Structure 1
Amino acid sequence: MKQRTIKKDIEIVGIGLHKGVPVKMRLEPMPSNSGIIIYRSDVAVTIPLKKEFVVDTKMATVLGKDGVIVSTIEHLLSAIYAYGIDNLRIVLDNDEIPILDGSASGYCMLIEEAGIAEQEESKKAIKIKKEVVVTTEDGKRVSLKPSNRIVYDFEIKFNHPAIGNQKFHFDYSIEDYKESIAKARTFGFLHEVQYLRSIGLALGGSMENAIVLDETKILNPEGLRYDDEFVRHKILDAIGDMALLEYTMIGEYEAVAGSHHLNHLLTKKLYEDKDNYEIIDLEEASSEAKVFELAFAKQLSAE
């Protein structure tokens, strides 16, 4: 299997979640072995998509270099990673990725409009060889463990009547990602939104790009896209955060009340010991390549 990029440049303008200002974003093809990079055109700074450049994970995954940041990257990265794109430049004229409708669905449409091109160099993947776990004292847990498939399992528990305890198991494929994960929107509580706005954040947030809840109910008049939209969005975020591994993962991700911060600690911990993983060439590893061929089959045949 070969590396992938997009066929042509494609550009959109959207609103940043926290500053609430317009952001122009352009996706550009890149040659084989370039990786994913972000370029802030307003300050002429390039930030590679690598775990070493993560500077904040409190409200979103934030990359930074030389005092320049790019925030709320996880929804776009989730779509890029889900489509198996290896090489791409993301050009921005501000410090946030556009939030669109709070899901990854718009980014999927953007990628499909640009088209996907296979390149000359073989694709690589990271295969999990040993279980790696990050836990907290209050019972939160994220892990990566060996599997011959690409799997995401997530469980959330919220003391809220509209959420409660939700679990979702996702066996990866492009089609299932688009139908089951990409449409799930980010969510927040009204009291949190009010606080964030008081400190100059979430200025672009609204019920147009998030599910908003008060103490007892969902405030969005259209309701939910799925009964368990909340946990599905957590998987969307996790896929975006795993893009910081730099290679598509073969293995199983599991989380109980996981977060951007725990996901970052997990990617760092995985790379601390070379016995935890193996970087494989999908032109040489036929059994692993089959995993990707099955995952991409419908999407490739549709192009």
Structure 2
Amino acid sequence: MQTTLAREVALKGVGVHAGVEATITLKPAAANTGIVFSRTFADSAPRKAAVNWKSVQATDLATVLGDRSGALVSTVEHLLSALSGLGVDNVLVEIDGPEVPILDGSAARFVEAVDQAGLAVLASRRKYIKVLKPVRVENGASFGELRPYDAGFRLEVEIDFAHEAIGRQRFAATMTPSVFRRELSAARTFGFLSDVERLRAAGYARGAALENTVCLDENGVMNEDGLRYADEFVRHKALDAVGDLALAGLPLLARYSSYRGGHKLNAAMVAALLSDRANYAIVEEAARPVRESVGAEISGTSPVPVFAPER
């Protein structure tokens, strides 16, 4: 059955790119509402953007949603990842700023907020997007592919960075709320010290700090507390993928594989899937239960040049 929050809950913090403080309030919503962002303004009426692939305005350094008037709210992927990962179908997200707060750089605080609010089960059955045939998107050395999968949602993410602290890493899991909580929710966003000056000059990363970002210099991880997972980098990319694929508007019954992916590839993958009705069906059947399956692989630095335009 579909779910929503049992009560509203609020969080406050700065955005990682704009560096502007904002408050978000997560509110219960009726069945079949989906996830809807409502941007409030002091001097004008609120504007709304439903979470679907047609609302995507930009994906260069974060996922940005908007309406016919333009961009409305950015960096939505961590919140969407938490809601999707925990199986929350219907929420109204009120926000009074241009960007969802980065908080600690992961989805952990959003998971805590959902737990604080609690879930309410609604009277309508949940709908799924069932992938019927393989759909693939390529961008240079990067690719993403959605394939049929009868046991829920399977995620297989691989990254390949020239930096010694990252190298080639792979994460694979059949997603459930417990797997999301344990394996992905605390993985933080990451970036490189060598990019900071350029990004800030372009108006990005103005709210980035060691409190909300894993930062790497030529010697390795700069954060005093180190990493939360040995392969935190690929786990965060997997966390992002869960949030970006929520742009489909309904949970997926599919196996998603990506190599050197990011927001742009993930969003293009959703658009490619939904652009042809022959690719998918809307169903109400629940996936066959499977035993939780999680795997991770880490290897040394790859000789392939780093491909990370969205880092």
What's 2:3 paired with? 4
- Corresponding pairs, count: 287
> In 1, Cα distance between the equivalents of 2:34 and 2:212?
29
Letter matched to residue 144 of structure 1: L
Q: TM-score, normalised by structure 1?
A: 0.92
Deviation at 1:39, TM superposition (A): 0.3
Distance 2:227 2:219 in 1: 15
Correspondence 1:174 to 2:177: yes
Q: Which runs of 5 or more structure 1 residues have no equivalent in the other structure?
A: 296-303
Secondary structure of 1:206's counterpart equals: coil
SS of residue paired to 2:237: helix
Are 2:65 and 1:63 aligned? yes
Say which is worse superposed, 234-243 or 211-220, in terms of deviation. Answer: 211-220
Contact 2:150–2:288 at 8 Å: present in 1 too?
no
Give the Cα separation in 1 of the matches to 2:70 and 2:174.
38
Offset of residue 34 of structure 1:
1.0
Compute the displacement of 1:170 (Å): 1.3
Could you say what secondary structure the match of 1:121 adopts? coil
Q: Select 2:228's aligned residue among 225, 228, 250.
A: 225
- The residue aligned with 1:40 is 39
Letter paired with 1:36: I
- TM-aligned CA deviation for residue 291 of structure 1: 3.7
| Deviation sequence 1:20-67 (CA, Å, 0-9, x none) | 121111000001111110000115101111111111000001011213
TM-score (norm 2): 0.89
> Please, which of 53, 56, 74 is the counterpart of residue 55 of structure 2?
53
Structure 2: segments with no counterpart, 5+ residues? 293-311
Which of the residues 103, 111, 115 maps onto 1:108?
111
Q: Secondary structure at the match of 2:270?
A: helix
Structure 1 position 289, deviation (Å): 4.4
The 2-side partners of 1:191 and 1:120 are apart by 52
Name 1:146's counterpart in structure 2.
148
Would the alpha carbon gap of residues 174 and 12 (structure 1) be closer, same or farther in structure 2, given more than 3 Å must change?
Answer: same
Quote the Cα distance in structure 2 between the aligned partners of 1:36 and 1:173. Answer: 19
SS of 2:16's equivalent in the other structure is: coil
Task: Map residues 216-255 of structure 1 onto 2, 5 A cutoff.
Answer: 216-255=219-258
Q: Which moved more, 1:125-134 or 1:193-202?
A: 193-202
For residue 122 of structure 1, give the secondary structure of its aligned residue in structure 2: coil
Once residues 246 and 72 of structure 2 are traced to their aligned partners in structure 1, the CA distance between those partners, rounded to angstroms, is 17
Q: Name the residue aligned to 1:300.
A: none
Of 179, 187, 190 in structure 1, the residue corresponding to residue 190 of structure 2 is: 187
For residues 290 and 91 of structure 1, the distance between their equivalents in structure 2, rounded to whole angstroms, comes to 35
CA contact (8 A) 1:132 1:270 kept: yes
Comparing 235-244 and 212-221, the one that deviates more = 212-221
1:290 deviates by: 4.0
Counterparts of 2:6 and 2:163, CA distance in 1: 45
Larger proportion of helix: 1
Find the aligned partners of 2:262 and 2:125 in 1 and give their Cα distance: 32
Q: Match of 2:201?
A: 198
Distance 1:136 1:62 in 2: 20
Write the deviation string for residues 218-271 of structure 1: whole angstroms up to 9, x where unpaired. 111111011100000000000000100111111101000011111111111101
Aligned to 2:16: 17
Q: How much does 1:176 deviate? A: 1.3
Structure 2 Cα separation of the partners of residues 212 and 289 of structure 1: 39
Tell me the secondary structure at the aligned position of residue 124 of structure 2. Answer: strand
User: Is the 1:45–1:68 Cα contact (8 Å) retained in structure 2?
Assistant: no
2:310 is the alignment partner of 1:280? no
Answer whether contact 2:57 2:71 (CA < 8 A) is retained.
no
Runs of 4+ in 1 over 3 A off after TM superposition: 289-292
* Alpha-carbon distance in structure 2 between the residues aligned to 1:226 and 1:172: 18
Query: Equivalent residue for 1:93?
Result: 96
Instruction: Report the 3-state secondary structure (helix = DSSP H, G, I; strand = E; otherwise coil) of the residue aligned with 2:22.
Output: strand
Contact 1:148–1:291 under 8 Å retained in 2: no
Structure 2 match to 1:136 = 139
